[in-house]
Amino acid sequence: MFDPADLAVAHRFAIALLIGALVGTERELRKTADQGFTFGGLRTFILVAQAGAVSAWLSLQLGQHWLFVATVVAVSAIVLTSYVLESRVKPDAAGLTTELAAISVCLLGGAVIYGHAATAVALAIVTAAVLAYKQPLHRLVGKIGSDDLYAGLRLLIATFIVLPLLPDRPVDPWQALNPYKLWLLVTLISGLSMAGYVAVRWLGSARGAAVTGLTGGLVSSTAVTLSFARQSRVEAGARAGDALATGVLLAWLVMFARVLVAVAVVHAPLLPALFFPYAVMAAVTAGFAAVCALRGRGDRGLPPATAVPLKNPFSLWEASKFGLLFAVVLLVVKLTEVYFQGGGIYLVAGLAGLTDVDAITLSMAEYARQGGSHEVAVGSIVVATLTNTLVKGGLIVALGSAAMRGRVLAATGGILAAGLAALLVA
């Protein structure tokens, strides 16, 4: 008689074997590419996963969980013995990566039988990716300097050590400043900037204006604008102007996406109201970027001088300065709400946008989360964005070449008109 439980068990065994096949396929390809690599290919990893799955199944059936533990120990002994033998023959070529992968696959095979199939599959994919992307990961590590490592550690300290120590309650008479939430949002913005900085270091900051604009925009769209404006004076010509304008507009486009991400994290219910004006501005920006890219498509990339001099975006001093700015904006917004009526908050947003969009974005998202008007919050964030865009357009006028200036100014006018129109319609 058919037993559904048997089908469930067979399904789990199939998942375990597929995990072994996934990692084993990557190792088989690596074995073919690396002559002299001996341990572990497709069949070996399938059998290792099967050993983990069968031992886990027997442990459950017999109520003897030591069977699974003993199997993992036996597999570990076998793969480590293989490592010792190989290291004696080829001491310069031996490594523990494949051996550790085999032990992991054995454990993942058992995890599937124990009822954690989804987690095991996810970890198997991560394992295969780590093995497959050996060279890119090594190149990335090679590009990381000691300052970058220290900055990453400081970000981790700020997030997992400093943050839990802060009080999670307002500490001012106006109930505007919550140290825990304030520092949490500081680390959020720092994390987004760090992700962009890592992308720049991985891809290179001179891989072309478009790539630099996309990755650099996560770190600082203003820095990209300033750098490309100066570069346009060196790289004269219409095509160079088009390529650099494309990079600048893509950096602005990433800034729009970055604002939406920050709002989604702080107060997701505000996102639908903010999405329309930002979608309109993003569409206009993308359209102008596409036109510039098509006009400059004959350009085959800009010389290394176009690299944007982006510094690692996180230091405790910079984070503290941003936190102070954020706190001031939060307090000013709260005081404006309490003591002034009308367009006072819009004025604060416009002034804040002259230097930075992140602080006012987080402030207005927090304002909406605490019960403030969503309409006012959306309007303030858009006003700050338009002000910031106008300032960056001014940088192009002051520092950019004539070829670049015309393209970016046209885009700036389009973005301003689109943003204002979207506010009026909404």
pLDDT band at 202 (very low <50, low <70, confident <90, very high): low
**Could you say which of 66, 99, 132 is where a domain stops?**
132
Q: Are residues 205 and 285 in the same domain?
A: yes
Look at residue 220 in the predicted model and tell me its pLDDT. Answer: 78
Distances in whole angstroms, Cα of residue 248 to Cα of each of 25, 287, 351, 407: 42, 13, 23, 10
For tokens 């480590």, what's the residue?
Answer: 80
SS3 state at 372:
coil
pLDDT at 380 over 60: yes
What's the residue count for the chain?
426
Q: Are residues 337 and 188 in the same domain?
A: yes
pLDDT digits (tens, 9 = 90+) for 387-412: 999 999 998 988 888 888 888 999 99
**Residue 175 or residue 161, greater confidence:** 161
pLDDT at 358 over 60: yes
pLDDT digits (tens, 9 = 90+) for 41-92: 888 899 999 999 999 999 999 888 899 999 999 999 988 888 887 777 766 6
DSSP 304: G
Residue 409: both structure tokens together = 């100014």
pLDDT band at 330 (very low <50, low <70, confident <90, very high): confident
Q: Are residues 90 and 204 in the same domain?
A: no
Residue 352: both structure tokens together = 């804040």
Q: Residues near 200 by Cβ (< 8 Å), separated by ≥ 6?
A: 212, 215, 216, 219, 308, 310
Residue 9: both structure tokens together = 């068990």
pLDDT digits (tens, 9 = 90+) for 220-258: 788 888 888 877 777 655 667 788 888 899 999 999 998
CB of 254 closer than 8 Å to CB of 221: yes
Q: Are residues 124 and 153 in the same domain?
A: no
Q: Are residues 109 and 157 in the same domain?
A: no
Helix, strand, coil proportions of the chain in percent (round to 5)? 80, 0, 20
Question: Does the model's pTM come out above 0.85?
Answer: no
**Could you say which of 132, 150, 172 is where a domain stops?**
132
Distances in whole angstroms, Cα of residue 178 to Cα of each of 170, 321, 356: 4, 16, 21
pLDDT at 300 over 60: no
- DSSP for 24-56, please give it: HHHHHHHHHHSTT--S--HHHHHHHHHHHHHHH
d(CA 412, CA 391): 10
Mean pLDDT value across the chain: 82
Look at residue 279 in the predicted model and tell me its pLDDT. Answer: 94
Q: Are residues 208 and 94 in the same domain?
A: no
Q: Are residues 114 and 151 in the same domain?
A: no
Cα angle for residues 145, 128, 107 (degrees, 5° grid): 110
Most confident of 29-33, 211-215, 347-351: 347-351
Q: Are residues 104 and 206 in the same domain?
A: no
Q: Are residues 90 and 153 in the same domain?
A: no
pLDDT band at 103 (very low <50, low <70, confident <90, very high): very high
pLDDT band at 217 (very low <50, low <70, confident <90, very high): confident
Instruction: Provide the sign of the torsion angle of the four alpha carbons 13, 15, 19, 20, taken in this order.
Output: positive
Look at residue 69 in the predicted model and tell me its pLDDT. Answer: 92
Q: What is the mean pLDDT of residues 296-305?
A: 48
Look at residue 282 in the predicted model and tell me its pLDDT. Answer: 94
Q: Are residues 230 and 265 in the same domain?
A: yes
**Could you say which of 85, 111, 132 is where a domain stops?**
132
CB of 200 closer than 8 Å to CB of 308: yes
Q: Are residues 332 and 378 in the same domain?
A: yes
Most confident of 92-101, 365-374, 381-390: 381-390
Distances in whole angstroms, Cα of residue 216 to Cα of each of 60, 170, 197: 53, 35, 7
pLDDT band at 299 (very low <50, low <70, confident <90, very high): very low
| Residue 355 burial (CB count, 10 A) | 14
Residue 210: both structure tokens together = 């478009």
Q: What is the mean pLDDT of residues 141-152?
A: 74
pLDDT band at 199 (very low <50, low <70, confident <90, very high): low
**Residue 56 or residue 310, greater confidence:** 56
Q: Are residues 276 and 336 in the same domain?
A: yes
The residue segments making up the domain with residue 38 are 4-132
Q: How far apart are the first and last CA of the chain?
A: 64
Least Cα distance to 163 among 353, 375, 323, 384 occurs for 323
Percent of the chain surpassing pLDDT 70: 83
Q: How many domains does the chain have?
A: 2
Query: CA Rg, the chain, in Å?
Result: 28
Q: What is the mean pLDDT of residues 5-16?
A: 86
Q: What is the mean pLDDT of residues 373-381?
A: 91
